[in-house]
Amino acid sequence: METHLRWTRRPSRLVRLLVATLGGLSLVVGITGNAHADPTPGDIEKQIDEKWNQIEPIIEQHNQLKIELANNKTKQKKLEDQIAPLRSQVDAAFDRVSAFAIRQYKTGNVSKLDAMLTTGSPDTFIDQMTMLNMLAKDEQIKIKDVLASKKEYDAQKAPIDELVAKQAEQEAALAAQETQINGEIKSLQDMRLKAYGSSGGTGNLRPVACPYEYTGGPGTTAAKIACQQIGKKYVWATEGPNTFDCSGLTLYAWKQAGYTLRHYTKWQYDDTSRVSRANLKAGDLVFFYSDFHHVGLYVGGGWMVHAPNPSEPVQMKKIDSEPISGYGRVA
């Protein structure tokens, strides 16, 4: 069976990266407290972009981890459900042998009782039963098959138990940083509002018609849905209908168009077919940065709708404003 083991090798690395990133954010926020002039809007935007590009990969990895953890817990539960009736059969077999051993004791057949009591684990149960030759041969075979099945399921479940424990620890460590992340991002947002004001006008978020072009089909439907989300807040690890992160927005738009995407940028890249820039049409996904940690939904004319980061709401943006790593078509 397939399990995702790559997370088990790097919990401390992720936490160290997160702590280092947040430390960097604290330094940025501290700019307003010195004796120099307030940073210009351009300086603030540059710092927000740089710091967010460090944080967003962690958020996307957290999305991935939560899904993998849930999947592994499902596998764990399925195996436990398969093992439970076998365990009951083993327990019942021990009860029957125990009753038999008591009868042997009462009749003075002590040597066979000793054979029963000296070892009590399921692994030696078959040997005990062969020594107690008064038990029926068909029950020996039945219990032997049950124990073999239980051992097989136990062997499958052991690595999943270990993986779930490690992933749960990693997920808890990342989740514990959420309050700190939100506090740091709020400080950056306060700096941004001080420089730009708090109007958040639709004109800035939707500078041209959205979708910019209609090509028909489910892609246009997804593009129209994405456009309707403009102005809504970014909240990481959410997929609508009121808040989104980047892959949550694309997932939501395409879900309304009747298609399923997974909530992780790299998985969405894997789930889509490659398309050239020259053949882009409304609804296509545009992926950014070498590690594919950001995604937007193309709406035509070189524009996309995306959920940028917690300091900005869902909005339109030119796709060339960030380093493109690939394009994907859902349908």
**Which residue do the tokens 């010195």 mark?**
34
Task: Classify 298 as helix, strand or coil.
Answer: strand
Give me the pLDDT at residue 241, please.
Answer: 97
Give me the pLDDT at residue 113, please.
Answer: 44
On whether the CB atoms of residues 85 and 96 are closer than 8 A, the answer is no
Same domain, 209 and 176: no
Rg, C-alpha atoms of the chain: 30
Catalytic residue (one of 62, 263, 293, 294)? 294
Which tokens in the block code for residue 176?
Answer: 């514990």
* Final residue belonging to a domain, choices 154, 185, 216: 185
Which tokens in the block code for residue 158?
Answer: 């052991």
Same domain, 119 and 253: no
Give me the pLDDT at residue 164, please.
Answer: 86
Same domain, 43 and 169: yes
Which tokens in the block code for residue 88?
Answer: 């009951």
On whether the CB atoms of residues 188 and 50 are closer than 8 A, the answer is no
Q: Please check whether residue 235 lies inside any domain of the structure.
A: yes
Task: Classify 315 as helix, strand or coil.
Answer: strand
Same domain, 75 and 139: yes
On whether the CB atoms of residues 213 and 54 are closer than 8 A, the answer is no
Which tokens in the block code for residue 136?
Answer: 């029926």
On whether the CB atoms of residues 299 and 316 are closer than 8 A, the answer is yes
Catalytic residue (one of 62, 263, 293, 306)? 306
On whether the CB atoms of residues 314 and 234 are closer than 8 A, the answer is yes
Task: Classify 55 as helix, strand or coil.
Answer: helix
Asked about 293 being catalytic, the answer comes back as no
Same domain, 319 and 216: yes
Asked about 227 being catalytic, the answer comes back as no
* Final residue belonging to a domain, choices 126, 155, 185: 185
Domain tally, the chain? 2
**Which residue do the tokens 């404003």 mark?**
321
**Which residue do the tokens 């088990």 mark?**
8
Residues 6+ apart with CB under 8 A from 115: 128, 131, 132
Q: Is the pTM of this model over 0.85?
A: no
Kind and range of the H or E run holding 328: strand 324-329
Which tokens in the block code for residue 261?
Answer: 């995407």
Asked about 294 being catalytic, the answer comes back as yes
Same domain, 210 and 92: no
Give me the pLDDT at residue 186, please.
Answer: 67
Give me the pLDDT at residue 37, please.
Answer: 66
Same domain, 44 and 149: yes
First and final C-alpha spacing in the chain: 30
Q: How far is CA 126 from CA 101, 114, 122, 138, in A?
A: 15, 15, 8, 12
Structural domain harbouring 162:
6-185
Give the separation between CA 269 and CA 286, rounded to whole angstroms.
9
Give the separation between CA 162 and CA 182, rounded to whole angstroms.
31
* Final residue belonging to a domain, choices 122, 157, 185: 185
Catalytic residue (one of 62, 210, 227, 246)? 246
Give me the pLDDT at residue 12, please.
Answer: 47
- Chunked into runs of 10 residues, the chain (331 residues) has average pLDDT values of 39 48 44 54 68 74 84 87 80 68 56 49 53 52 72 84 86 70 66 57 77 84 94 93 97 97 96 97 97 96 95 94 96 90
Kind and range of the H or E run holding 311: none
For helices 246-256 and 41-106, angle between their N-to-C axes, nearest 10 degrees: 80
Give me the pLDDT at residue 26, please.
Answer: 42
On whether the CB atoms of residues 331 and 222 are closer than 8 A, the answer is no
Task: Classify 213 as helix, strand or coil.
Answer: coil
